[in-house]
Amino acid sequence: MAEENLTITRDLIFGHVMSNEENCKELLQLILPNIDIKKIYVEPQKEINSHLKGRNVRFDLWIVDGNGIKYDIEMQIKDDHNLGVRSRYYQSKIDEETLDKGDDYLKLNPSFVIFLCVFDPFGLDQKYYRFKMVDTENNNLCLNTRSEVIVLNSKGQHGKINVELQKFLDFMNGYVDRNDAYISRLDNDIKKYISSPEWRRDQMNLAVKLADQKHEDNIDAIEKIIKMLRRMGKSDSEIKDEIFDAFGDDFYKGDLDQILAERGIK
């Protein structure tokens, strides 16, 4: 049976077709028509590791243009009600990647975090939301952070956007305008990709990566639980029982015994 939803909204597909610089540059230009975007560098699924204790981040599309402007484009198919705090964290990681120790803050070039949503996260039925940091008493007073957040809602019915961007939003919703050269090219690129061995290989690699991430997350959780239970005065035997109850389905018994032994739980 054919797999469903093999559209531009799938992470792997979006990343693949937008790794083509021409495709990606045209999308950026549709979203930000007032910026003259020259040559760009694109890296799908770019991961930035935290230098200190903290959470790593993986950008769907990391883009740098010829003027040093940085863009993060995220495809969103599920509303987790966290775009505000996610954009804050993503922006901090963009800045962390930009500045070296001792650099002047003025070295921070403009940056954009862009969410492409198949839902309306704000419930106002707008197609295009754009955010800057402004004074709450005087909206004409802007704090120049050189950063913006843009949210596109493919289901929106209100707000003025250019015709070409509307066609891309329609494409996100599954409608292919064969009379539009850009949309036709994207659709053809998708069909070519999902019928190739590369698509199947990328799916397997993603499954392995997700499994590895789950394993790492479980190890982190086990370490935190051990510390918490030790602070509560629990014995090694009690800690072991708690860990097996919580993670027995995620690990073989011998592997879990070894994980606990390496952390001093016999």
The tokens for 59 are 């950008």
Q: Which residue has the tokens 């966290």?
A: 82
> Domain residue spans in the chain?
11-195, 203-262
Q: What is the spatial distance between Cα 189 and Cα 154, in angstroms, rounded to a whole number?
A: 21
pLDDT at 68: 93
Query: Where do the H-state alpha helices sit in 71-196?
Result: 83-98, 163-172, 181-194
- Using a pLDDT cut of 90, give the percent of the chain over it: 60
pLDDT at 238: 87
Nearest to 11 by CA among 65, 78, 111, 86: 78
pLDDT tens readout for residues 26-51 = 999 999 999 999 899 998 888 776 55
Nearest to 242 by CA among 256, 254, 252: 256
Exposed / middle / buried, residue 31 (Cβ in 10 Å: 0-12, 13-18, 19+): buried
pTM exceeds 0.85: no
pLDDT tens readout for residues 89-141 = 999 999 988 888 888 999 999 999 999 999 999 999 999 999 999 999 999 99
Query: Where do the H-state alpha helices sit in 113-196?
Result: 163-172, 181-194
Residue 72, phi then psi, degrees to nearest 5: -120, 120
* pLDDT for 52 beyond 60: no
Angle between helices 181-194 and 197-231 (to 10 degrees): 80
pLDDT at 161: 97
Whole-angstrom CA distances from 9 to 1, 37, 191, 205 are: 20, 24, 14, 19
pLDDT at 252: 80
90-95: long-range contacts (C-beta < 8 A, 24 or more apart)? Answer: 90/57, 90/59, 91/147, 91/149, 93/48, 93/57, 94/70, 94/147
- Strand 70-76 vs strand 57-65: parallel, antiparallel, or unpaired? antiparallel
pLDDT tens readout for residues 67-100 = 999 999 999 999 999 999 999 999 999 998 888 8
Q: What is the spatial distance between Cα 148 and Cα 132, in angstroms, rounded to a whole number?
A: 5
Q: Which residue has the tokens 């209100």?
A: 158
Q: What is the spatial distance between Cα 30 and Cα 25, in angstroms, rounded to a whole number?
A: 9
